[in-house]
Structure 1
Amino acid sequence: MGLKGIIKFFTFRCLEILVVALVIFLIPGLPPYAKISDSYTVKSAKPFEGKLALNNRLELAEKWHEGEVHGAESFASFNGELYTTLHGGDVVKFVGNHITPIVRLGKPCSSLHEEKTCGRPLGITFDKSGNLFVADAYYGVFKVNVKTGEKTNLVSMDAEINGKKPKLPNSLVVAQNGDLYWTDSSTEFILQDGIIDMLADGSGRLIHYDAKTKTNTVLMENIHFANGLILSDGEEHLIISETGRNRLHRYYLKGPNKGKQEVFIDGLPGLPDNLRSDGKGGYLVPLVIAADADHPNIPHIFAPFPKIRKVVARLFGLLDLCFETLNNYYPCAFAQKATHFIGHFNSMTPMLPKRATILHISKTGEILDSIHANNKNFRTFSEAFIHKDTLYLGSPFNNFIGRVPLSKIGWNHLVQNAVPTPKPVTQPPPTQKPVTQAPTTTPRPTTTSSKPTTTTQKPPVQPQVTPTQAPKPKEAPKQQTPSAKQQNPPPVKQQTPSPPKQTQPPKQQASPPKPQTPPPAKQQSPPPQKQQTPPPKQQTPLPKQQQTAPTTQKPGKN
């Protein structure tokens, strides 16, 4: 075949494709039955520089429970225990390395392609009382008792909300008063037709569920695949992922802007998914699918051309309709798997870019840091969740959970329940006790570093105390010797021998002789024991720290 024959062949094939496309586009009543008419553009991705500079820190993560879990979409923790949602409809808990089933919201099924029967739990969150809330893509929003497995359906898929039934409950958060905010990713397509929804006009919604009235109110609509959701620390606003357009929105719940919405951050180099708090007022944003100048997203390419998007969407719809009709007349696993596969996000995984990115942004939308991976076997992360000192990475596609210590990726400052608290607890007492004891009972032996200072403070204090304490030493030896034994006198007696040893050096005796000479032998011969025997009543906090002194036999020597 010559060159002219080759050109002729491809010309006719192109004409045939064009005719088929026109027929598909012009024939009314063909699926999908959704609005595809808006022309829009997606903002160009931010350049990989500064805080967005590419790195390999995310590749330091390990594959946890590889082959044992599939599609760990989202995480939540309560009482130090980690929970996640899986393909197959299960919510599970990790006890050490053991996986414990908690609840299944759907019906029993035999395979993942029966997703509509199994159910697909996506977002999960706990309230302050330990109740677990779950958004299932096929069954609605539930409240679950994790101890008993009892479940309560709060939002049904059959209940119309502002004239439309929910089709894809996705993410949710709970407020302090028990109200829920949740996203319905689409009012046109179910989860297994997610790709078709990305080609159609946005129909996602942000919805408020009032726990008292048990009613739902639409706060935002026409979001192009409404996805992740996070509530600010002060509950002033919500941040929502618009996955279809690579950006985040902010919706105000309080203040002068109450009820208003705005773009929080735009031009992300990927499709944002679930949102999680960093524990410091900021947010963690995973980009489940990379999208930049080197990795263009197909729906974004056709975004300005609704007619082309409609033709492509109808191709998916017609293929889906063919296999669905076949399964209705001749039920078989092949037709069921084909119906599930066509239009499902899982069908895209072989073509997805290999870059993975997790963003750390501030409460004002500033990118603080980013971690990346450039490995096709370690990508498509839908959530980055901090649990104690570890970052857990979820994915709707992977058969493992990513896990990496925060210290390895340079996020030590985000560690939860860090343990520097005991240090300030042990350090302040020595600094506070000399201050409280110095004016009353001259706590010389509390710490070796404070003895020189206490000995210098005693002289001015003793002249004021001698008139009140002078009679007490005379009566105290008889009555307080037994009480001293009850109040752990050893530490007090430890104070008497230790000061002499430390006051005898020239550094300490240089100052004490002068102040101790004014009170004659009355205070120097008996006082080491008589003035410090009464103080045990005032030095009750001291023995706890001074009981560790090893010189318990020294009083006998004196």
Structure 2
Amino acid sequence: MGVRGIISFLFRRSLEIAVVVALIGLFPRLPPFVNIKEPFRVAPLLPFEGKLALKESFGDVEILHKGEFVGPESFAELGGELYTTIHGGDIVKLSGNHITPITKFGKPCKGLYEEAICGRPLGIDVDKNGYLYAADAYYGLFKVDIKTGGKEQIVSPLQEINGKTPKLFNSVAVASNGDIYWSDSSSDFKLENGIYVLLADPSGRLIRYDAKTKQNTVLIDNIHFANGVSLSDDEEFILIAETARSRIHRYYLKGPKKGTHDIFIDGLPGVPDNITPDGKGGFLVPLIFGIDSQYPALYQTAGPLPWIRKLVARFMAITEYLIDTLNQAYPTEFGFKCVHFIGHFASIPLALQNPRMTILRLNKNGEIIDSIHSLNRKIQAISEAYIFHDMLYLGSPFNDYIGRIPLSKVGWDNLKVEKIKKAPPTATVSETNTPEPVKRSETIKTTQKPTISKSTQAPTTTAKPPASTTQKSTTSKPTEPSSTAKPPTTKTSAPTTAKLPTTTTSAPTTAKLPTTTTKAPTAKPPTPSAGTSQINTTAKPVGTTDTKTTISPKSSQTSTKNTESSRTTDKSDPPNRETSQKSPSQSSSQQQQRVKQFD
């Protein structure tokens, strides 16, 4: 084949390719079924000079949890503990070298290629009450209780907002009044088709969820891949990163510009991702992929030419469609992985990316006040820079580790955080001191010290009546007198009385003692209630120095068991049932006769 043959061959092949390209580009109703018509241009890149001068800052970076998970995208601090989101749908707590799962979104899946089933939490934040809020790319916006792992869906991916459903939940920021600001990266594509978002016309949004009305309001529309959000320290405005255009928007929440928005910073030398406060009124912005003259962003280069972007998007979509159709007929794990790979950000090999990684520090006016860089691929693709105590933690949606470096090593030791601002929610447990239940069927027996009165007759020992209580029945145990003979015990049953009259009993006196008349206190019996037995009033046996009437209400259960009462009396004057039931006049007459006999 001569030179003419080679030229002819190349011409024919080029013509065939041109025909195929024309068909793909011009033929209607081919995937992806979205608008790719709007040309765009990005601002010129900021020069690497002054505060943006290149210098290696990550020589002492540590690599943590290597190979233990993939994709620690974002961080949040709660109660002195650090939390992060990872592939597989999990939020985990990092305690030193320990990894503790907190909650999971989605369903069990076979691998990362099924992330639409697993769930993929991206941005997280906490509120003043200690609850964690997470944006899962596929399942929506959630409120999480880190103590129990319970979660509540706040915004569903099926919920229509201004005529469009959110497809890619990304970042979240919680205000002091409970309102939630979050980003919907695209209304056209999900995360597994993220590259299509860069090629298509913008459809991202900044949305506010009103905690009182439970309504969502679109603050900024048509953002080209809406990404990280962050509130200013005084909540005067909120920032949102526009990843595809390498710039950041500012939306005013207070002041004379309230309800308007402008460009906070433009011409960033890379792709901005999450935005975090620096604790001094400013912000930290990592550029997940660096952009410069040697490593341009091809989708930005093709920005003014929408037909080229459409051609690339259609070629990818048709390839994905063919593989997916074949995989539906003959399903294989390799086929599912290929379908997931095409159009996903993971299909961009890091080896082909810019080796430079940059983190910017911006003030409240959108000015760069410092920058730190990694220039040797030691650490790459950083999506978030988060200050935790005296360390700077570095997350990434692609890496299988977390980077960490002391703030002092990058010259940011003045950003050290000593105080924990937000504590986890504490469960309010009301402790009730419950008294021990009283066993009504049990009677506690107490023995009192006997009282001995001197007289010419045999000594008499009398047990002091026990004090009555409403909870427990106390029965005095009979004691033996000092004589060798045992005193007789008389069993008496409780008399039944509808209403007990007021009783006054004069106490008898013993021999060779002055006559003593003691009136028993008048006791008004309480009205018997349900479950309460009638009142027992028993006159004290003769031979004691005083007389006391005891009135004690008892439960029906106790009174049944205590129908036998013990009484200790003098041997020469045993008590009988008739004496215990005499009227007051008979008792007084008997007393006078006894006194006359002694005289």
Q: Give the direction of change, closer, same or farther, for the CA distance of 1:258–1:12 in structure 2 (3 Å limit).
A: same
Code of the residue aligned with 1:74 in structure 2: it is S
Separation in 2 of the partners of 1:293 and 1:382? 22
Deviation digits for residues 497-552 of structure 1, max 9, x if unmatched?
xxxxxxxxxxxxxxxxxxxxxxxxxxxxxxxxxxxxxxxxxxxxxxxxxxxxxxxx
1:131 maps to what in 2? 131
| Pair 1:389–1:306, CA change in 2 (3 A) | same
Q: Does 1:410 align with 2:411?
A: yes
Paired with 1:83 and 1:9, the residues of 2 have a C-alpha distance of: 60
Distance 1:12 1:377 in 2: 47
Give 1:2 shift: 4.0
Kindly state the Cα deviation for residue 78 of structure 1 after the two structures are TM-superposed. Answer: 0.9
C-alpha separation in 2, matches of 1:65 and 1:237: 36
Q: Shift in Å at residue 99 of structure 1?
A: 0.4
Q: Distance in 1 between matches of 2:231 and 2:247?
A: 17
Q: How does 1:160-179 map to 2 (within 5 A)?
A: 160-179=160-179
What letter matches 2:397 in structure 1?
P
Paired position in structure 2 for 1:295: 295
Counterpart for residue 142 of structure 1: 142
Contact 1:167/1:190 (CA < 8 Å) preserved in 2?
Answer: yes
Is residue 401 of structure 2 the alignment partner of residue 400 of structure 1? yes
Shift, 1:4, TM fit: 3.7
Alignment of 1:78-97 (within 5 A): 78-97=78-97
Residue 352 of structure 1 and its aligned partner are, at CA, apart by 1.5
| 1:32 alignment partner in structure 2 | 32
Q: Which residue of 1 aligns with 2:209?
A: 209
Residue type of the alignment partner of 1:386: I
CA spacing shift, 1:346–1:3, aligned 2, 3 Å: same
Find the counterpart in structure 1 of residue 346 from structure 2: 346
Contact 1:143 1:152 in 2 (8 A): yes
Secondary structure in 2 matching 1:57 = coil
Contact 1:44 1:292 in 2 (8 A): no
- One-letter amino acid of the structure 2 residue matched with residue 371 of structure 1: I
Q: What is the aligned-residue identity percentage?
A: 57
**Counterparts of 2:298 and 2:378, CA distance in 1:** 22
User: Matches of residues 237-252 of structure 1 in structure 2 within 5 Å?
Assistant: 237-252=237-252
Q: Distance in 1 between matches of 2:8 and 2:372?
A: 51
Contact 1:269 1:290 in 2 (8 A): yes
Report the alpha carbon displacement of residue 328 of structure 1 after superposing the two structures with TM: 2.2
Relative distance call for 1:21 and 1:82 in structure 2 (3 A) is same
1:285 corresponds to: 285
Q: CA deviation at 1:69?
A: 1.8
Residue 259 of structure 2: aligned partner: 259
- Give CA-to-partner distance per residue, 1:326-351, whole Å, 9 cap, x none: 22222221111011100100110242
Amino acid at match of 2:381: T
Match of 1:362 in 2: 363
Task: Determine the C-alpha separation between the residues in 2 that align with 1:375 and 1:283.
Answer: 25
Equivalent position amino acid for 2:32 in 1 = P
Q: 2: CA distance between counterparts of 1:404 and 1:231?
A: 25
Shift of the alpha carbon at 1:3? 3.8
Instruction: Name 2:220's counterpart in structure 1.
Output: 220
**1:242-270 alpha-carbon deviations (Å, 9 max, x no partner):** 00000000001111111111011000000
How many Å apart are 1:324 and its aligned residue? 1.9
Q: For the residues of structure 2 that align with 1:119 and 1:136, how far apart are their CA atoms?
A: 7
Residue identity opposite 1:415 in structure 2: K
Aligned 8 A contact 1:86 1:121 in 2: yes
| In structure 1, C-alpha distance between the alignment counterparts of 2:17 and 2:40, rounded to whole Å | 26
Matched residue SS, 2:55: coil
**Is the Cα–Cα contact under 8 Å of residues 85 and 122 in structure 1 kept in the other structure?**
yes
In 1, Cα distance between the equivalents of 2:326 and 2:243? 33
SS in 2 for 1:149: coil
Match of 1:58, SS state, is coil
2:20 counterpart letter in structure 1: V
1:11 aligns to what? 11
Residue 292 of structure 1: CA displacement?
1.5
Q: Match of 1:327? A: 327
Whole-angstrom distance in 1 between the partners of 2:143 and 2:304: 41
Cα deviation, residue 14, structure 1: 2.3
Counterpart residue identity of residue 343, structure 2: G
1:93-104 equivalences under 5 Å are: 93-104=93-104
Deviation at 1:375, TM superposition (A): 2.5
User: Per-residue displacement from partner, 1:263-291 (whole Å, max 9, x unpaired)?
Assistant: 11000000000000000000000000111
Letter in 1 for 2:170: N
Q: CA deviation at 1:293?
A: 1.5
What stretches of structure 2 of length at least 5 have no aligned partner? 421-599
Task: Spell out the pairing of 1:415-454 with structure 2 (5 A cutoff).
Answer: 415-417=416-418
**C-alpha separation between the residues in 2 aligned to 1:355 and 1:45?**
15
Q: State the 1:319 CA deviation.
A: 1.2
Deviation at 1:374, TM superposition (A): 1.6
TM-score (norm 1): 0.74
Matches of 1:95 and 1:190, distance apart in 2:
32
Q: Distance in 1 between matches of 2:419 and 2:253?
A: 32
What is the one-letter code of the residue matched to 2:412? W
Q: Is the 8 A contact 1:201 1:224 kept in 2?
A: yes
CA drift at 1:33: 1.0
In structure 1, what is the Cα distance between the partners aligned to 2:85 and 2:127?
17
Report how far residue 32 of structure 1 moved.
0.5
Deviation at 1:376, TM superposition (A): 2.9
Give the distance between the partners of 1:11 and 1:362, measured in 2 at CA: 57
Alignment partner, residue 432 of structure 1: none
Tell me how far apart the structure 1 counterparts of residues 282 and 303 of structure 2 sit (CA, whole Å). 31
Letter matched to residue 153 of structure 1: Q
Corresponding position of 2:158: 158
Match of 1:192? Answer: 192
Q: Hey, what's the Cα distance between the residues in 2 that align with 1:17 and 1:115? A: 35
DSSP-derived class of the 2:22 partner: helix
Q: Which moved more, 1:393-402 or 1:7-16?
A: 7-16
Structure 2 equivalent of residue 446 of structure 1: none
CA contact (8 A) 1:75 1:124 kept: yes
> Is the 1:45–1:293 contact (alpha carbons within 8 Å) kept by the matching residues of 2?
no
**Aligned position for 1:108:** 108
Counterpart of 2:551 in structure 1 is none
Task: Report deviation, 1:153.
Answer: 0.4
Count how many residue pairs are aligned between Structure 1 and Structure 2: 419
The DSSP-based 3-state class of the residue aligned with 2:58 is: helix
State the alpha-carbon separation in 1 of the partners of residues 253 and 4 from structure 2: 67
| Residue 314 (str. 1) matches residue 314 (str. 2) | yes
Q: Which residue matches 1:386?
A: 387
Aligned mates of 1:2, 1:98 — CA distance in 2 = 69
Gaps of 5+ in 1: 420-558
Q: Which residue of 2 aligns with 1:375?
A: 376
Stretch deviating more after TM superposition (194-203 or 409-418): 409-418
- Contact 1:119-1:139 within 8 A present in 2 as well: yes
How far apart are the structure 1 equivalents of 2:256 and 2:264? 17
The residue that corresponds to 1:554 in the other structure is none
Partner SS state of residue 348, structure 2: helix
State how far apart, in whole Å, the 2-side matches of 1:411 and 1:282 are: 13
| 1:60 alignment partner, SS class | coil
**Are 1:198 and 1:224, in contact at CA under 8 Å, matched by a contact in 2?**
yes
- The one-letter code of the counterpart of 1:115 is E
State the distance in 2 between where 1:150 and 1:225 align. 30
Matching residue's letter, 1:99? I
Q: Which has the larger radius of gyration?
A: 2
What's 1:182 paired with? 182
> Which amino acid is the alignment partner of residue 201 of structure 1?
D
Aligned residue type for 2:386: F
Once residues 121 and 180 of structure 1 are traced to their aligned partners in structure 2, the CA distance between those partners, rounded to angstroms, is 16
2:49 alignment counterpart: 49
